[in-house]
Structure 1
Amino acid sequence: MIRLFDVLFSAVGLILGAPLLLLLTFIGLLDTGSPLFRQVRVGRDQKPFTLWKFRTMRRDTASVATHLASRSSITRFGHFLRRTKLDELPQLWNVLKGEMSLVGPRPGLFNQEELTRERALRGVFKVRPGITGLAQISEIDMSTPELLAKTDQRMLQYLTLRAYFKYIVLTISGKGAGDRING
């Protein structure tokens, strides 16, 4: 049932959001010269997939977890995208393709070995990664791998259709601050 809502909401979001997506792409083109960012992430069953986002950091920024990146690498437009969570919109394509869900554990990088190990121990990779979830609305980011994996496990144990909609509504209404950035 959740997959049905994922497909429905991502398709509607991409269609109705097309003007906004085009506007953000144009502004991003002016901001960094390369508005879209793609990165290989750890997906369901620990299989790799390419995650899409709007670029929020300069193009020469190292490909590391957000909490390891420097705050100075984020552009002014990138700050806006992160604060409003609009940088996540291109992931609707990942959801539509079946690589992600709207709700699930945020996909990590393959070089985040501690997080990958903790999630594997807790069965977190049995599901599609998500755009949002309990950790995101609770402001738990990837800088605390064990806590994040435990929170993901707890979310999955109690993920009902009602909780699915709750996480989406709380995210859209601004709950959660996103990943921490170094000063």
Structure 2
Amino acid sequence: MREDVDKEENVISVSNNMSYEIIKRLIDIIGASIGIIFLSIIFLIVSIAIKIEDPKGPIFFSQIRVGKNGKEFKMYKFRSMVTDAEEKLEQLLQFNETTGAMFKMKYDPRVTKIGRFVRKTSIDELPQLLNVLRGEMSLVGPRPPLPREVDLYTKYDKQRLLVTPGCTGLWQISGRSNIGFTQMVELDLFYIEHKSLLLDMKIILKTCFLFLGSKGAF
């Protein structure tokens, strides 16, 4: 947890532009639907690869995340770790390679072989398009945190939860795992204060260019 008294007093202003919210939701529904249709072959190939490597394990991994205004929801991913990954986390916390409330480990021993590939290319995130259709997530927004991460948040950090979380955002296109927790919060709050359809489109386009790359992902 950061001990930053000055930032505790710095509250961001959030505009409530109804037309922006309506158009953003329409873009989410259309974009997620098109994405699921056009990427269905990738869904199939990855699903088969996961089952071949670990026939007994599930294809998808669901995890409780914290969304807008602190509301919890179940977020979906392609499973990229061994089935007992959560139980093994406690043993690995001492090897955390990022700062603040997040956990990141470049050579995480819990990650499977196919898992390394889908995480490096961010393909493991594709099932979150289902969360977008359900309205729990948006195409663009802050990364939805884990409840245990939110427990360590300061009041300043909790401002990340003022908007619907997204599949991609300024954090993801600015370096992702190479960026620490404090910088991630600053990027998210900048987005919240300056959110617009133009900014959303810029983030989506840059995400598409980076999608098959490996920059900053582990």
Please give the TM-score of this superposition, normalised by the length of structure 1.
0.86
- Further displaced range: 90-99 or 52-61: 52-61
Counterpart for residue 216 of structure 2: 177
**Structure-1 residue corresponding to 2:152:** 114
Q: 1:137 Cα shift?
A: 1.0
SS at match of 2:199: helix
| 1:79 pairs with 2:119 | no
Conserved 8 A contact 2:139-2:168 = yes
| Structure with max Cα Rg | 2
Question: Contact (CA 8 Å) 1:103, 1:168: kept in 2 or not?
Answer: yes
More displaced 10-residue stretch of structure 1: 155-164 or 109-118: 109-118
CA shift, 1:26, in A, is: 1.6
Residue in 1 aligned with 2:64? 40
Instruction: Assess, with a 3 A threshold, how the Cα gap between structure 1 residues 56 and 159 changes in structure 2: closer, same or farther.
Output: same
- Specify whether residues 116 and 37 from structure 1 end up closer, same or farther in structure 2 by C-alpha distance, changes over 3 A only: farther
| Identity among equivalent pairs (%) | 33
Structure 1: runs of 5 or more not aligned: none
Q: Could you say which residue in structure 1 is the equivalent of 2:44?
A: 22
CA deviation digits over 1:35-60, x for unaligned, max 9?
11000000111010000000111111
Instruction: Point out where structure 2 has 5 or more consecutive residues left out of the alignment.
Output: 1-22, 90-101
- TM-score (normalizing by structure 2): 0.73
Question: What's the C-alpha RMSD, in Å, of the aligned pairs?
Answer: 2.2
Give CA-to-partner distance per residue, 1:79-121, whole Å, 9 cap, x none: 110111111110000001000001100001000123474432x
> Which of residues 132, 136, 149 in structure 1 aligns to 2:168?
132
Q: Is the 1:108–1:116 Cα contact (8 Å) retained in structure 2?
A: no
Match of 1:154 in 2: 190
Q: Distance in 2 between matches of 1:157 and 1:134?
A: 13
The aligned length equals: 177
1:59 is paired with a residue whose SS is: coil
